[in-house]
Amino acid sequence: MPSELGNPSSSSARSGDVPVPDYDVYIFDLDGTLYLGDELLPGAASTIAGLRQRGKVVRFLSNNPTKTPEQYADKLTRLGIPVAPDEVTNTITTTLWWLRQNHPQAALFPIAEKPLCDALLTAGFVLTDDPAAIDIVIASYDRNFVYRDLQIAFDALWYHHRAILIQTNPDRYCPFPGGRGEPDAAAITAAIEACTQVKCSASMGKPSPLILHAALAGLDVPLDRCLMTGDRLGTDIQMALDTGMAAAVVFTGETRPGDLTEAHSGVHRLGSLEQLLGGHLPRLSTFEAVTSPMTR
Ligand SMILES: [Mg+2]
């Protein structure tokens, strides 16, 4: 292990392969952090297994509202990280949580794909496309978005002056392997804002702390015992900085080491996810040997 172990205050203590201090709850972004597309990233399975072995609580966050938590749990489990659906919080989970807390009786017009619409119906919310009855327009990542949706949102927000506008997530685009991507919920939010001049009043996705609060609901743990690990400075890391929780950045997704600024001086820089296991577990080679079935 590196010599910095005994000198955590050195300038290099937050970079390279230095173990990270101990926390109670470990929250992970998914794409770019634990996997890329359909490939698990190095150390992901062994790190999650090691954290669980030590009795740590692990949670998984995604801004993507086009899949259910069950689908994410299935994918992670298939890739070699066994996960239960209630350990995954995405913007479907967060939208439901926020609406139950703040607008349990609201009539909703979700511009959204089937998983979010189904979840809202299952939770007992009324969905309507009658602009005179809509209380909340939900702008989401909807690959079936058409002009009719925009007209209904426009009528509810601008003509009837009765609805508010919220969004599932603030992402401009969803990145794909190979450098491509798809327009995401920010584009649909912007279309509605442009024609109505009504500003979106709440966002459910990172960097909004709402997704964090939804993920930690029911866990009686202070934020300073939680660590957020992710690959995006503007979402994963910003949410942590805004809420005062600790953060760790990986360089397997969007961020390059040179992107970090003075604002990120307290962020742990991970050359490897295994740094999250600290210095308390068996040496990596022993640990990999013990858990090899989980890592394949
Ligand atoms: Mg990511």
CA of 232 to the centre of ligand 1 (A): 6
**pTM metric for this prediction:** 0.86
| pLDDT the model gives residue 238 | 97
Q: What angle do CA 214, 216, 220 make, to 5 degrees?
A: 140
CA of 9 to the centre of ligand 1 (A): 29
| pLDDT the model gives residue 270 | 95
- What's the chain's average pLDDT? 89
Count Cα atoms within 13 angstroms, Cβ side, for 147: 0
CA of 41 to the centre of ligand 1 (A): 12
Cα–Cα distance for residue pair 213/274, rounded to 1 Å: 26
H or E element: which one contains 183? strand 181-183
Where do the domains of the chain lie, and which CATH numbers do they carry?
12-63+207-295 (3.40.50.1000), 94-203 (3.40.50.1000)
- pLDDT digit string (tens) for 132-172? 999 999 999 999 999 999 999 999 999 999 999 999 999 99
CA of 11 to the centre of ligand 1 (A): 27
- pLDDT digit string (tens) for 199-257? 999 999 999 999 999 999 999 999 999 999 999 999 999 999 999 999 999 999 989 99
Residues flanking ion ligand 1, Cβ below 5 Å: 29, 31-32, 231, 253
